[in-house]
Amino acid sequence: MCLAIPAKVLSVEGASALVSIEDVEYKASLLLLDDVQPGDFIMLHAGFAIEKVDPEEAAETLRLLNEVADNSAY
């Protein structure tokens, strides 16, 4: 199963970005997307930004992922 997580772009340097997922920062490759700017939201999969999304979609996806995690029986 593949899973992409919404992340907010904090800064861009060349083909890399510093992104934040719920206050945790990660480095992301931007090789698969054009015109990514600080403040954009992207879907992050295996270290690659694969799609730009609007802030509302990103927030709803994170909410749903958190709900699933809270209801999981590990």
Q: What is the pLDDT of residues 21-64, one digit of tens each?
A: 989 999 999 999 999 999 999 999 999 999 999 999 999 999 99
pLDDT at 2: 75
CATH number, domain containing residue 36: 2.30.30.140
Does residue 53 contact residue 40 with C-beta atoms inside 8 Å?
no
Domain containing 61 equals 5-70
How far is the C-alpha of 9 from the C-alpha of 56, rounded, in Å?
Answer: 15
pLDDT at 1 over 80: no
pTM (2 decimals)?
0.88
pLDDT at 70: 85
How many structural domains compose the chain?
A: 1
pLDDT at 50: 97
pLDDT at 3 over 90: no
